[in-house]
Amino acid sequence: MLDWFHSHSNLQVGGIILVFGLLMTTIAPYLVRKRFKLDPSEHTAKGAEESFKLFISLTLLLLAFCLVRMQGDHRGTEDMVSREGTVMIKLHRAYDSFGGENGAKLQEGLLKYANAVVTDEWPLLAHGNRNEKVNEALAFLARESKQLEPQTPAQQVARSEIIQSFNQLADLREARVSASRLKLPIYYWYAIICSIFFFTVFAWFQSPLPKLLTYVGGVTCGLCLLMTVLIATAGIFAGESSVTPEPIELAIEQMNKAPKAKL
């Protein structure tokens, strides 16, 4: 279901949820009560209002908690991608410091890896998958970096920095792929759906009818807004609000402008 929502823009998602929410909580009960001339008794309406308030509070609490959790995951992943771009630039400079034919070759390999991450792997992250082309590029960097044979003290220092930076890059890549599988636990969705269901049931018994349309309609609009934000952030690498590869793209731009390793 979330995949279907993420195939639309946030504005479209908000519109869909708002229309459906108002249809179920105000328009449908209005038409039913007008058609069958129903009017809940005073005691029924008063009891329903108290229960309605309870489930408003419960729904808001659940949505707020889930929003904080997903926003934290989003922020953490964004910071991780920023560090990944920074480590790429650091590794590119270390290859330049090492110099020689191997340094230049590894700089080209790093650029291929970064481009593959952006163009080939990033779309797959929406489904928690990794790309084989990126695996091969990373394996090439690992093999060639470990086989470097320094001839001077400067190259020895550069090689140590290369190994350290490469290990960080590999770890960040694994962490990014793992972050793509972060989701809100299903039991939270069940709790939200149950809370909204009872919220809707007790909304139908509000009386008089003008109070139902304004009171329930206003609360529904607020809950629909929160639901839209939650759905927009529920997919870390999916949807319009997904984490973007912008830091890596900026790193690629800087690496292209940087001088090549001296042969």
Note the pLDDT tens digit of each residue in 40-65.
888 899 999 999 999 999 999 999 99
pLDDT beyond 70 at 102 = yes
Q: What is the pLDDT of residue 33?
A: 86
Q: What are phi and psi of 77, to 5 degrees?
A: -70, -40
Contact between 21 and 223 (Cβ < 8 Å): yes
Q: Where residue 262 falls among pLDDT bands split at 50, 70, 90?
A: low
Q: What is the pLDDT of residue 88?
A: 96
Length of the chain: 263
Q: Report which of 161, 137, 138 is spatially closest to residue 150, judged by C-alpha positions.
A: 161
pLDDT beyond 70 at 241 = yes
Q: Where residue 1 falls among pLDDT bands split at 50, 70, 90?
A: confident
pLDDT beyond 80 at 250 = yes
The share of the chain scoring above pLDDT 70, in percent, equals 98
Q: What is the pLDDT of residue 2?
A: 84
Q: Where residue 260 falls among pLDDT bands split at 50, 70, 90?
A: confident
Spell out the long-range contacts of 186-190 with Cβ–Cβ below 8 A and sequence spacing 24 or more: 188/62, 188/65, 188/66
Distance CA 13, CA 237 (A): 17
Contact between 180 and 237 (Cβ < 8 Å): yes
Segment 225-231 shows an average pLDDT of 94
Alpha carbon of residue 113 to chain centroid: 23
Q: Where residue 258 falls among pLDDT bands split at 50, 70, 90?
A: confident
pLDDT beyond 90 at 140 = yes
Q: Report which of 249, 232, 218, 195 is spatially closest to residue 61, judged by C-alpha positions.
A: 195
Q: What is the pLDDT of residue 261?
A: 64
Segment 207-221 shows an average pLDDT of 91
